[in-house]
């Protein structure tokens, strides 16, 4: 990577431990137990088969409708194309209930990295496929976090939220093709005014890593779910298990190799 110009953050699974996975699981379990009960025996679905690994490989990072379709195809649900819309809608209802109930947590390593990069003048974009991601970022105050945890004292106004730290918010932006296509990341690079080869993408899903590579960007996969192999196979330039493994000074220089021990 050439000297860093911008960093594009996926949100769900990178910045926020949002309840998407559980919402997908619970919505399908409910449908299979009620409206779709008649077709359930024809499928390979069972609640315990909808694992985190299945979520990560089939659904994570994709736009809502294509994620729904991919999960139904995976479980061999008949008429998946017709049913995907209903499933996507139900998942959204479950998700919104969970968000309203505050059932999500922020990853402090991501907050630290965002603040460190911001303090170094790196341009930042939020680039989630999810239309709900901006709202999640807006609910997270960073001023108190900075007070206690940010030694460099990145300039953060009283009452600032995580969303305020991003120079561009592309979450849920209308693009022709979702991840793994590069459209959203290319739109984010344009919004920042940074050429793609000087952009770094932080992702937790294989589809997102593929999208970054298709955009001609450098990508770092954060494997929070012991899925290092999936991210490496998707083409991540580096895989870490926590963003604290990254050295912000080195990143600014365009170095993504591991910090010397």
Piece of the chain touching Mg ion by CB under 5 A; list 28-36, 70-78, 143-151, 201-209: 201-209
**Does residue number 21 form part of the binding site for Mg ion (CB under 5 A)?**
no
Piece of the chain touching Mg ion by CB under 5 A; list 10-18, 114-122, 139-147, 243-251: 10-18
Residue 162 phi, psi dihedral angles, 5° rounding: -55, -35
Kindly tell me which residue out of 26, 204, 227, 237 binds Mg ion, with binding defined by CB under 5 A.
204
Gyration radius (Cα) of the chain, Å: 19
Kindly tell me which residue out of 4, 10, 20, 240 binds Mg ion, with binding defined by CB under 5 A.
10
232, 236, 242, 243: CA torsion to nearest 10? 170
**Does residue number 12 form part of the binding site for Mg ion (CB under 5 A)?**
yes
| Three-state DSSP state, 161 | strand
Q: What is the rounded distance in angstroms from the CA atom of residue 243 to the CA atom of residue 190?
A: 25
**Does residue number 196 form part of the binding site for Mg ion (CB under 5 A)?**
no
Looking at residues 157 to 176 of the shown chain, list those that interact with Mg ion (rule: CB under 5 A).
none
CB 231 within 8 A of CB 13: no
CB within 8 Å of 229: residues ≥ 6 apart: none
Q: For the chain, how many residues are written?
A: 261
Closest approach of Mg ion to the CB of residue 15, in Å: 9
**Does residue number 19 form part of the binding site for Mg ion (CB under 5 A)?**
no
Piece of the chain touching Mg ion by CB under 5 A; list 20-28, 157-165, 170-178, 204-212: 204-212
Closest approach of Mg ion to the CB of residue 82, in Å: 27
Q: What is the rounded distance in angstroms from the CA atom of residue 29 to the CA atom of residue 34?
A: 9
List contacts with Mg ion (CB under 5 A). Answer: 10, 12-13, 204-205
């Amino acid at each position: 990577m050439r000297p860093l110009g911008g960093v594009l953050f996926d949100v769900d699974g990178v910045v926020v431990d949002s309840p998407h996975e559980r919402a997908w699981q619970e919505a399908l379990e409910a449908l299979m137990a009620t409206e779709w009960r008649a077709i359930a025996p024809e499928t390979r679905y069972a609640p315990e088969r909808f694992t985190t690994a299945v979520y990560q490989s089939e659904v994570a990072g994709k736009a809502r409708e294509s994620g729904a379709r991919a999960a139904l195809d995976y479980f061999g649900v008949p008429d998946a194309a017709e049913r995907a819309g209903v499933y996507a809608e139900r998942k959204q209802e479950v998700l919104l209930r969970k968000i309203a109930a505050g059932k999500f947590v922020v990853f402090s390593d991501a907050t630290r990295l965002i603040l460190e990069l911001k303090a170094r003048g790196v341009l930042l974009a939020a680039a989630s496929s999810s239309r709900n991601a901006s709202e999640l970022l807006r609910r997270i105050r960073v001023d108190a976090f900075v007070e206690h945890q940010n030694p460099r004292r990145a300039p953060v106004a009283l009452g600032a939220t995580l969303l305020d730290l991003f120079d561009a918010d592309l979450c849920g932006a209308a693009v022709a093709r979702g991840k793994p296509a590069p459209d959203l990341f290319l739109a984010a690079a344009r919004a920042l005014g940074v050429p793609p080869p000087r952009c770094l993408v932080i992702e937790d899903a294989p589809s997102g890593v593929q999208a970054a590579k298709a955009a001609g960007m450098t990508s770092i996969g954060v494997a929070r779910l012991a899925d290092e192999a999936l991210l490496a196979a998707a083409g991540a330039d580096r895989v870490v298990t926590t963003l604290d493994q990254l050295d912000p000074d080195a990143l600014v220089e365009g170095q993504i190799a591991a910090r010397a021990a």
